């Protein structure tokens, strides 16, 4: 299934909320993906929620760890450099193969000027390789850095990582979602999708993490938190 850009899929995409965009993708999945496959994904989400991962995820008020990662061009990006200039919005995503990550990144791309006008920078972090980040940025015309978190080292520090369960791994393999190739390691680990706003001293001002990868915060919610 080809996940088209917002411009391709709907010329009026700017007027749609992210919730509406993701709902449309859920509808396509409900229509074309076998029910037994959908049940495996639902079970994986339910198991994550039962594990109470929220207890280890970094929350509002604590200091976020400093990091340096390669961007889509292989250049080093340091969180300290970004924070020296203003607030920092971080999005942890699963990768370019995830239609919900693509939808979120395209929606955030549309509000990037407002983020910058608020005196903040925006960075997206995923475990995919630099080459995969380059492909994602180029394909979806993203205007912000995509950072490659090899081995989910930064995501681990934020308390976001989990191992894809065996049944879901088998589904991904059948669908040619080859995480060892995409991420460059055999761990089958992913981050829970999460969005943070860091103050200039790295204190977390806003945090949104959800075990259900089909749900993401609205860009307007991020802009309001920045204001």
Q: Is 10 among the domain residues?
A: no
* pLDDT score of 12 more than 80: no
Q: Is 8 among the domain residues?
A: no
Q: Is 92 among the domain residues?
A: yes
Q: Is 9 among the domain residues?
A: no
Q: Is 142 among the domain residues?
A: yes
Q: Is 164 among the domain residues?
A: yes
Nearest to 22 by CA among 216, 221, 223, 192: 216
Q: How much is the mean pLDDT over the chain?
A: 93
Write the pLDDT tens digit of every residue in 61-95: 999 999 999 999 999 999 999 999 999 999 999 99
The pLDDT > 90 percentage for the chain reads 89
Write the pLDDT tens digit of every residue in 151-161: 999 999 999 99
What is the domain-level CATH number for residue 189?
Answer: 3.40.30.10
Going by pLDDT thresholds of 50, 70 and 90, the confidence category of residue 3 is very low
Q: What is the pLDDT of residue 54?
A: 72
Tell me the backbone φ, ψ of residue 64, rounded to 5 degrees: -80, 145
Element (H, E) at 126: strand 120-126
Say how many domains are in the chain.
Answer: 1
Nearest to 160 by CA among 59, 56, 88, 63: 56
- Asked which of 7-11, 24-28, 61-65 is least confident by mean pLDDT, the reply is 7-11
Nearest to 74 by CA among 151, 141, 142, 130: 130
Q: What is the pLDDT of residue 6?
A: 47
Q: Is 6 among the domain residues?
A: no
Going by pLDDT thresholds of 50, 70 and 90, the confidence category of residue 55 is confident
Which has the higher per-residue pLDDT, 131 or 7? 131
Q: What is the pLDDT of residue 2?
A: 42
Write the pLDDT tens digit of every residue in 96-116: 999 999 999 999 999 999 999
Could you tell me the CA-to-CA distances from 196 to 10, 131, 149, 211 in Å, in that order? 28, 25, 16, 15
Q: Is 137 among the domain residues?
A: yes
Write the pLDDT tens digit of every residue in 174-200: 999 999 999 999 999 999 999 999 999
The residue segments making up the domain with residue 70 are 15-226
């Amino acid at each position: 299934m080809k996940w088209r850009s917002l411009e391709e899929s709907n010329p009026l995409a700017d007027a749609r909320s992210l919730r509406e965009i993701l709902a449309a993708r859920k509808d396509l999945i409900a229509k074309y993906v076998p029910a037994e496959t959908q049940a495996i994904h639902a079970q994986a989400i339910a198991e994550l929620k039962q594990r109470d991962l929220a207890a280890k995820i970094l929350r509002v008020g604590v200091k976020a760890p400093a990091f340096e990662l390669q961007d889509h061009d292989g250049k080093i990006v340091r969180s300290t450099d970004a924070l020296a200039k203003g607030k920092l919005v971080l999005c942890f995503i699963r990768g370019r193969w995830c239609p919900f990550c693509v939808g979120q990144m395209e929606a955030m791309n549309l509000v990037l000027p407002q983020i910058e006008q608020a005196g903040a920078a925006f960075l997206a972090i995923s475990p995919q390789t630099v080459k995969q980040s380059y492909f994602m940025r180029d394909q979806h015309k993203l205007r912000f850095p995509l950072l490659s978190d090899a081995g989910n080292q930064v995501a681990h520090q934020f308390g976001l990582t989990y191992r894809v369960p065996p049944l879901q791994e088998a589904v991904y393999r059948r669908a040619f979602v080859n995480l060892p190739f995409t991420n460059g390691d055999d761990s089958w680990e992913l981050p829970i999708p999460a969005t943070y706003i860091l103050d200039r001293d790295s204190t977390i001002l806003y945090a949104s993490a959800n075990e259900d990868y089909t749900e993401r915060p609205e860009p307007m919610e991020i802009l309001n938190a920045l204001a």
